[in-house]
Amino acid sequence: MARMATSRHVAVSTIAAWLVGFLIFFPILWMVLASFKTELDAFAIPPKFLFFHWTTENYAAVQERSDYVHHALNSIIVAGGSTLIALLIAIPAAWSMAFSPTKRTKDVLLWMLSTKMMPPVGVLVPIYLIYRDFGLLDTLTGLVFILCLGNLPIVIWMLFTYFKEIPKDILEAARMDGATISRELVYVLTPMAVPGLASTLLLNLILAWNEAFWTLNLSTLQAAPLTVFIASYSSPEGLFWAKLSAASTLAIAPILVLGWFSQRQLVRGLTFGAVK
């Protein structure tokens, strides 16, 4: 058979794939390595790849000099809070559109999608002024609120595509067997909805964790999540490469792990169900 994978074919594509994969991953690897170097080694030319004096002093220094934990907590509150609130608002909406669609459901969905297409910079001025007047600048409440609204359309869309796949026959079967609405909800629907809910939750945690337009514009210090904290290294502090790398490694590690777990749902979520 022509299409049988010959061992030569496997060898060639394996080598090529690993090489390309390594190249793409390299900047991250290089950053992690730099985070364990002394500042001098991080600058060294020729670069030191593995044989340098390994140290964890940068991680201690990052916390000491700039209160890393404070910003990490902000990130957790902002990403987690905005995602949970968005889910609470989106679940009933997606549920009703998936299970009792009307003629207008499709229009409503497309309209929701269109709100996501509005560039945030188009409404930067009024949002900034409203936040200033209501004392929401540099507050966690303000950030949670704006990220929640920003991601709401995606959350609704994702949940909708998942809910729609729950076969309606199952509901009818349960009803025939005499299940009440509440039992139906607890024993039949919830278990079937959990995978969809979980991947929606994961994807939105990632999006909110990495959001860097509103966080940069609406927070400076007190409420600053990690995106803003890292940005502070762009000024003279940027000269401290090892510390920048340590701070960056800490900032992306949790989300990299979450992301790797959710990569299969990622495609679906980000394409609004258009590619599965």
Partner 1 sequence: MLLTPAVALLFIWMIVPLALTIYFSLLRYNLLDSESAQFVGFENFRYFLTDPAFLASLQNTLVLVGSVLGLTILLGIPLALLLDQPVIGRNIVRLMVIAPFFVMPTVSALIWKNLLMHPVSGLFAWIAKLFGAPSIDWFNDVPLFAIILIVSWQWLPFATLILLTALQSLDEEQKEAAEMDGAGALSTFIYITLPHLARPITVVILIETIFLLTVFAEIFVTTGGGPGLQTTNIAFLIYSQALIQYDVGGASAGGLVAVVIANIVAFFLVRIVGRNLEA
In the region spanning residues 186 to 205, those forming contacts with partner 1, defined by CB under 8 A, are: none
- CB closer to partner 1 out of 67 and 177: 67
- Which residue from 143, 223, 226, 246 is in contact with partner 1, where contact means CB under 8 A? 226
Q: Should residue 170 be labelled a site residue for partner 1 when binding is judged by CB under 8 A?
A: no
72 binds partner 1 (CB under 8 A): no
How many Å apart are CA 227 and CA 156, to the nearest integer? 25
- Residues 54, 36 contacting (CB under 8 angstroms): yes
**Whether the Cβ atoms of residue 249 and residue 32 lie closer than 8 Å to each other:** yes
Of 56, 114, 190, 222, the one binding partner 1 (CB under 8 A) is: 114
DSSP state of 49: S
The answer to whether 263 contacts partner 1 (rule: CB under 8 A) is: yes
Question: Does 260 participate in binding partner 1 (rule CB under 8 A)?
Answer: yes
Question: Could you give the CA distance from residue 148 to residue 81 in angstroms, rounded to a whole number?
Answer: 8
What is the torsion angle, in degrees rounded to the nearest 10, for the CA atoms of residue 42, residue 45, residue 46 and residue 48? -10
Task: Determine the Cα–Cα distance for residues 235 and 129; give it in Å rounded to an integer.
Answer: 27
Kindly state whether residue 93 participates in binding partner 1, applying the rule CB under 8 A. yes
Residue 116: which residues within 8 A CB-CB, separation 6 or more? 150, 153, 154
d(C-alpha 94, C-alpha 77), whole Å: 25
At closest approach, how far in Å is the CB of 177 from partner 1?
A: 25
Q: Mask of contacts with partner 1, 238-257, x by CB under 8 A?
A: x--x--xx--x--xx--xx-
Question: CB-wise, 173 or 256, nearer to partner 1?
Answer: 256
Judged by CB under 8 A, the number of residues near partner 1 is 91
Establish if 267 lies at the interface with partner 1 (CB under 8 A): yes
State the Rg of the chain over Cα. Answer: 24
Q: Which residues have C-beta within 8 Å of that of residue 177, sequence separation ≥ 6?
A: none
- Within 17-46, the residues that bind partner 1 by CB under 8 A are 17-18, 20-22, 24-25, 27-28, 30-31, 34, 42-46
Pick from 179, 197, 198, 270: which binds partner 1 (CB under 8 A)? 270
Nearer to partner 1, 176 or 235 (CB): 235
Stretch that binds partner 1, among 66-74, 123-131, 136-144, 194-202 (CB under 8 A): 123-131
Report how far residue 164's alpha carbon sits from residue 152's, in angstroms, rounded to the nearest whole number. 18
